[in-house]
Amino acid sequence: MARRILRTKLCDMLGIEYPIIAAGMGPTLIGEKTGAPVEMVVAVSEAGGLGVLGGSGFTVEGLREAVREIKAKTDKPYGVDLLLPQKLDLSGGFGQKGPNEVPLSAMLKSLPKAHQDWVKKVKDELQLPDVEIMVRMNTTTMRPQEAIQVCIEERIPLFCAGLGNPGFMVAEAHAVGMKVLGITGNAKNARRMAQSGIDLLVAQGHEAGGHTGRIGTMALLPQAIDAAYPVPVLAAGGIGDGRGMAKPWPWAA
C-alpha cells in the first residue's frame, strides 16, 4: 500500500503514467555524440515515463534549440539534466566572452599540482600516450547560470541536477511551475538536498554510471528515504530489468 501511494504521488506530481524517469546522460565536453538526445527523451515520454535531455555538453543556445525541438515533438512532460559544479561561479557570467575551445594540456596545467601529479601517475602506470584534444568551453557546464535561465525561460517541467545541489534555484523554478530534482550518493547529501526545498531526489548507487558515491543502490536507498522524508526518492543504479524495478519492499518507489 505504501509503495502504491508513493507511486501515485510521483506520477501525479509529474503528470506521467509510470514512475520511471530516464537518466539525463549528457554528451561530454569534448564533443562526442553520446548521452540522452532529443529522440530518446521523446520516446520515453511518449511511452508514459519521463524522458530527460542530457544537456551537459550542449552550448547554451544549443540547449534552447533542443528543448524547443522536444516541445515540437511531444506534449508530454520531460526534463533537462545539467551539471552544477560546486567550484564554478553560479552568481554571474551571462554573455561570457572567451575562447570556445582550449587544449586539454592547458586545462590540465590549470589544475592544482596534486591533481596534476595524480594524472601523471596514472599515465605512467598505464603507459598512456600524450593526447592533445580540444575541450569545449562554451557548454552549459561551463556556463551553468545561463543554462539555468534557458530552462526557466522555456518553463521545462522538470530540472535535474546531475551534479551539485540545485537548492539555490528552487524558488525561481517553482515560480514558473518547474519541479526540481537532485541526485545523491549518500544519506548526508540526501538530507541536505531535501532541506533545500527540492521536489524529488534520486538515490544513485555505486552501480550507476556518471556521478555516484561508493554505496550500493540497495543499501543506499532506505538510508536516503529516511534522510529525505517526506521528499519522494527514486532509485538508480544496478537495475537492469523488470525484476529489479518490481521491488517487494514497501519503501521502494
Q: What is the CATH number of the domain that holds 149?
A: 3.20.20.70
Distance (Å, rounded) from C-alpha 85 to C-alpha 231?
A: 23
Q: What pLDDT score was predicted for residue 97?
A: 62
> Looking at residues 65-71, what average pLDDT do you find?
98
Q: Is residue 66 part of a domain?
A: yes
Number of domains in the chain: 1
Nearest to 75 by CA among 42, 33, 104, 116: 42
- Tell me if residue 54 falls in helix, strand or coil: strand
Q: pLDDT at residue 94 above 90?
A: no
Q: Is residue 137 part of a domain?
A: no
> Looking at residues 198-222, what average pLDDT do you find?
90
> Looking at residues 62-74, what average pLDDT do you find?
97
Nearest to 80 by CA among 108, 96, 60: 60
Q: Is residue 126 part of a domain?
A: no
Q: Is residue 114 part of a domain?
A: no
- Strands 158-163 and 78-83 turn out to be parallel
Nearest to 158 by CA among 174, 183, 182, 179: 179
> Looking at residues 225-233, what average pLDDT do you find?
95
> Looking at residues 124-129, what average pLDDT do you find?
94
Q: Is residue 50 part of a domain?
A: yes
- Burial bucket for residue 110 (CB in 10 Å: 0-12, 13-18, 19+): exposed
> Looking at residues 195-205, what average pLDDT do you find?
96
pTM here is: 0.86
How many C-alpha atoms does 87 have within 13 Å on its Cβ side?
1
CA torsion, ordered 96, 97, 102, 108, to nearest 10 deg: -50
- The domain in which residue 220 lies consists of 2-90+145-245
* Residue 91 pLDDT level (bands cut at 50, 70, 90): very low
Distance (Å, rounded) from C-alpha 109 to C-alpha 115?
A: 10
| Cβ contact 204:212 at 8 Å | yes
| Cβ contact 234:201 at 8 Å | yes
> Looking at residues 194-198, what average pLDDT do you find?
97
* Residue 110 pLDDT level (bands cut at 50, 70, 90): confident
